[in-house]
């Protein structure tokens, strides 16, 4: 089933009919409800100068803190912040949908792809985020230790050790997050455990 076919099914579905009496009574129920409450008020726009100064000061402190925090992070973090797969929350939502089935979530120039196992046999382990750039083309994926995934035109086996180090073994290179073993000059690789 492709995307337009799915949308056509979703749009064809109709709701159970709401009884006419319910539609007629409903506005009266709301009116009864609002009569018990205070009427709405237009948002007031009078600010005290003291309050404005306090807010201004608080905003400055927050901005200063944010800039400082961002600089520290920018120094350490090379993974782009707009990379969808770097979001732990989104990855967790997907893994929860297909328990023990997700071999990898891959994002490349063709978009996002889920690589699912036919059986629920993917062992539970911490997800590993990998970003590989070959010249100008970059691909990201989230996968697990022990998985063999095709990315950047080659099969790559992903392994992690007990101390959190990540090893990628491709047909033309070997890469390690700890000892920086490298056998390909064109590839830029980053990896971390999510």
Partner 1 sequence: MAGSDDDTKLIEQSLTGDPEAYAALVNQHQKMIRAVAFRMTGSLDDAEELAQDAFLSAYRQLGSFGGGSKFSTWLCKIAINLSLDWRRRESRRSDIHSKWAEETVFENNPGDRFPDNLSRRVQDALNRLPAKQRAAIVLTIYENQSHAEAAKTLRCAEATISWRVFAARQKLKRLLKGLPHE
Binding site for partner 1 (CB under 8 A): 1, 3, 5-18, 22-23, 26-31, 33-35, 37-43, 82, 84, 87, 90, 92-97, 112, 114
| Nearest approach, Cβ of residue 130 and partner 1 (Å) | 18
Q: Count other Cβ atoms within 10 Å, centred on residue 194.
A: 13
**Residue number with CB closer to partner 1 (38 or 49):** 38
**Residue number with CB closer to partner 1 (31 or 162):** 31
**Residue number with CB closer to partner 1 (37 or 48):** 37
**Residue number with CB closer to partner 1 (130 or 156):** 130
DSSP 1: -
Given a contact cutoff of 8 angstroms between Cβ atoms, the answer to whether 121 and 100 are in contact is yes
| Nearest approach, Cβ of residue 73 and partner 1 (Å) | 18
Q: Count other Cβ atoms within 10 Å, centred on residue 132.
A: 22
Distance CA 132, CA 186 (A): 10
Distance CA 12, CA 172 (A): 50
| Nearest approach, Cβ of residue 187 and partner 1 (Å) | 25
**93: its two tokens:** 């939502």
| Nearest approach, Cβ of residue 6 and partner 1 (Å) | 6
| Nearest approach, Cβ of residue 131 and partner 1 (Å) | 16
Helix/strand/coil for 113: strand
| Nearest approach, Cβ of residue 117 and partner 1 (Å) | 14
**Residue number with CB closer to partner 1 (54 or 90):** 90
Given a contact cutoff of 8 angstroms between Cβ atoms, the answer to whether 75 and 66 are in contact is no
**Residue number with CB closer to partner 1 (110 or 180):** 110
Distance CA 155, CA 127 (A): 19
Q: Count other Cβ atoms within 10 Å, centred on residue 191.
A: 21
């Amino acid at each position: 089933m492709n995307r337009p076919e799915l949308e056509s099914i979703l749009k064809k579905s109709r709701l159970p009919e709401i009884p006419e009496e319910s539609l007629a009574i409903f506005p009266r129920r709301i009116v009864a409800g609002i009569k018990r409450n205070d009427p709405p008020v237009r948002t007031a726009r009078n600010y005290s100068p003291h309050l404005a100064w306090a807010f201004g000061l608080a905003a400055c402190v927050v901005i200063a803190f944010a800039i400082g925090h961002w600089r520290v992070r920018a120094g350490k973090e090379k993974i782009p912040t707009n990379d969808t797969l770097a979001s732990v929350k989104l990855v967790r939502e997907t893994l929860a949908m297909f328990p023990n089935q997700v071999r990898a979530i891959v994002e490349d120039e063709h978009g996002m792809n889920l690589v699912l196992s036919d059986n629920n046999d993917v062992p539970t382990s911490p997800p590993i985020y990998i970003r590989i750039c070959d010249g100008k083309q970059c691909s990201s994926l989230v996968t697990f230790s022990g998985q063999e995934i095709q990315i950047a035109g080659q099969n790559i086996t992903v392994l992690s050790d007990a101390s959190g180090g990540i090893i990628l073994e491709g047909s033309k290179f070997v890469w390690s997050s700890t000892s920086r073993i490298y056998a390909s000059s064109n590839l830029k690789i980053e990896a971390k455990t999510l």
